[in-house]
Structure 1
């Protein structure tokens, strides 16, 4: 998920790191005293070494990262956790849909040989004749070959096809000269998938120069992974050219395990995206309900500022429900701190002021001053709750699967999260105004909106 980059408050990073810099200074002074007065080793170099260690600690990124499993069993556990989340969230899914997901996971975990080699090219390229090419892998046995349909020269997403993700090894037959479409496809071949580029080039004397030119145009990962074939070569020459591929295929167990690992990672990523869509749908109904609860409370008893009340409500009902939607194992105190941080960032960025100006320009207040002020303040509070809720949802999505979120990182990223959420809510401003009309009409407030 990408966020708009907005500048933070000028002194925010310094204040966030104040405690760490104090610790660094203390480390330097302690190191100097310890080596000079206790151990009686002259010089301040070792004290500086302590300071260097402290500086390295300070420079560590303050980001809670999803720890990707390194084993197949670890990925299976992650996928099973997502399946449980689906069962809890997707109330409309049938038992058949649930079984299909479980079956897909089982098919990957039970996947076995033989190794499958995909021969791929794009429209305009050509693949070798099957029988002669397969003989180039003799005497290796238990191999299957897939002659894939040519890849298109124009594609909206340029995503590596699912059927090719299933293959243990990919051989991309590249027509020369290099075309932009082929370069885009090669950039999307998964890094974890053993792959080679195969080029048919007749002139062996000019091949060295052609290879240098080609390598200069290709991404770095393809260095040393270009194979030259000649249409006139005898079978022994084909076998020699394909020697790097043959060496890779001899370790069948490793290749099959690598494919399982890659497929499980992709499956988990796909399921997480689907699960996030379900979470957002559930969240939107909670967001709509909570923002008007805030608006009603503010209108009934207006206060000088809307932030405290909005935060109180967000810290209550909405946060409690959001922790269930995102299956957060974190303590309620952590969520409350996060909500306060995001609410503070929203107020600092002028979300309330902007919404107030927009409401004034989009509405006409006909009632008394108390009604007008209370209505405007109530709608401001509703909008603030809406933005804070959305930025909370974005933060929860970024920290999905993290055992303990990094609150220091949130302080640095809160402005960016709020800016992104506010921008998206501004795009949906007309929908918010429509909801406002409905809310106002239910309370019979003498306020007329101009369409």
Structure 2
């Protein structure tokens, strides 16, 4: 669209403010610039402002999706079935199995679905209901019985019982999306279109209520939309504004009345007809694949929960073994990791739970790799200092033997175990060797898990657990009594 500077006083004021700021910042230096330099500064400031206003907004690739074939959809269903079967094998009586299997059966039937589902969505008061009414009453629906229109709740409403995420989840089940707007795209609308694009969902951007703009504004706005989003952009006027009609009679009298123009939906119906004829069945397969991927993720979440429940006691067992070892044989802080924090047998046990079959030698390689990453990321030093800080709150326990080393070893072992669990949850196939680790992914996982378990409240509770396990009960009572006397 053409940018019109309709507020010259405001623009001049902004330019003057910018210039005064420059003058104040440069102080004595600006005096040496002279009159020419001052004018140049004003010109540059004005030019920067105009460039900012005219800078094109972020564009989006064509909204056209890439339809998949039947074989691809069937493959996605098979992958979902494999995860469901694995869940049944590891938790035979899991409460979600019946629901998951019902959804799987439904997906197989979806492959032969003839009806094309069209979601009509957008913000509030963009004309969703009116559009469906016009399409149904125009006779077009009778020519396209395969197309079923379904309106969604309005998007972008802060005060609503249905959040945008729930609405977009419904939209994801449709084959085609009609996304209605009343003017230029907002950033939120643009982000929503990006989500449809990322989900490989066929989308038509509908510029509705175009009749409310003057002819030149309408053309300019439509051109801007088509430039930002090439392809699949149509203009409509579902409920045109009544226009005044004036008729001059032969006797010189004039008659005036308001006339309701017919809805303008030609571009939209042509686009829908083309989509239905050229891509109809493939769009159904694409939607089926999208649902299969979502079903697989749902089943994988349940499976991961089951495995995590089994992995947690193992991690706790090895963290306290590591703590006892380091407490009995205190070593310098930076050597804790090599002696106790990472245990190859823990790697093997966790791998068995997550169907990642590892030999002891491969597990040692994995353990060494994680130890090296922890050192490089500085997690050993950071965790030791954090544990020391907590223990210093009680001077008596702080000086008791190798508590710092023991608790630090337990903490690092726990971080390693949780990181392995998070890493294994992302895997699709078993690791063939320790060298098959994706180091970038493992590094990111380590950092994320470490940050999640670094809160002071968690550390205090963890240190207290460590003290209770590492110090004899009688010594804890004596130390606590001495601490009370001192305080």
TM exceeds 0.5? yes
Q: Is the 8 A contact 1:85 1:327 kept in 2?
A: no
Instruction: Give secondary structure in 1 for the equivalent of 2:402.
Output: helix
Distance 1:102 1:406 in 2: 35
Tell me what 2:116 maps to: 115
Q: Out of 282, 299, 304, which is 1:254 matched to? A: 282
1:310 matched to which residue of 2? 340
Q: From the superposition, tell whether residues 70 and 409 of structure 1 become closer, same or farther in structure 2 (CA, over 3 Å).
A: farther
Q: Does 1:226 align with 2:237?
A: no
Q: Is the 8 A contact 1:352 1:383 kept in 2?
A: no
More displaced 10-residue stretch of structure 1: 156-165 or 441-450? 441-450
Please, which moves more after superposition, 337-346 or 417-426?
A: 417-426
Number of the residue aligned with 1:142: 146
Aligned twin of 1:71: 72
Distance 2:118 2:445 in 1: 44
SS of alignment partner, residue 411 of structure 2:
helix
State the shift of 1:227 in Å. 0.8
Q: Secondary structure at the match of 1:230?
A: coil
Q: Which residue of 2 aligns with 1:195?
A: 203
Tell me by how many angstroms 1:331 deviates. 4.8
Q: Deviations over 1:332-368 (max 9, x none)?
A: 5434312211112223444343333333332246489
Per the TM alignment, residue 385 of structure 1 is displaced from its structure 2 partner at its CA by 1.0
CA–CA separation in structure 2 for the residues paired with 1:327 and 1:141: 48
- 1:209 equivalent among 220, 227, 233: 220
Q: Check whether the contact 2:175–2:283 (CA below 8 A) recurs between aligned residues.
A: yes
Which structure has the bigger radius of gyration? 2
For residues 142 and 323 of structure 1, do their structure 2 counterparts lie closer, same or farther at Cα, with a shift above 3 Å needed? same
Indicate if the aligned counterparts of 2:79 and 2:296 stay in contact, CA closer than 8 A.
yes
Change (3 A) 1:298 1:359: same
Aligned ranges 1:271-420 → 2 under 5 Å:
271-302=299-330, 305-310=335-340, 314-316=343-345, 318-329=346-357, 331-363=359-391, 364=394, 366=396, 372-401=400-429, 407=435, 410-411=438-439, 415-420=443-448
3-state SS, counterpart of residue 183 of structure 2: coil
Q: Is the 8 A contact 2:206 2:233 kept in 1?
A: yes
Secondary structure class of the residue paired with 2:464 = helix
Contiguous gaps of at least 5 residues in structure 1: 1-68
Rounded Cα–Cα distance in structure 2 between residues aligned with 1:143 and 1:255: 12
Does the residue aligned with 2:453 lie in a helix, a strand or coil?
Answer: helix
Q: What is the rounded CA distance, in whole Å, between the counterparts of 1:253 and 1:431 in structure 2?
A: 58
Give the Cα–Cα distance (whole angstroms) in 2 for the partners of residues 294 and 315 of structure 1.
12
What SS does the corresponding residue of 1:120 show, helix, strand or coil?
strand
1:170: which partner in 2? 177
Residue 119 of structure 1 contacts residue 145 of structure 1 at CA under 8 Å; is this kept in 2? yes
Q: Highest relative contact order (Cα 8 Å, sep 6+), 1 or 2?
A: 1
Contact kept, 8 Å, 1:314 with 1:389, in 2: the verdict is no
Matched, 1:440 2:470: yes
Identify which range, 76-85 or 402-411, moves more after superposition.
402-411
Match of 1:82 in 2: 83
Aligned length: 372
- CA displacement at 1:204 relative to structure 2: 5.3
Contact 1:339 / 1:392 at 8 angstroms: preserved in 2?
Answer: no
Structure 2 distance, partners of 1:291, 1:186, is 47
Structure 2 regions of 5+ residues with no counterpart?
1-69, 241-260
3-state SS of the aligned residue for 1:145?
Answer: strand
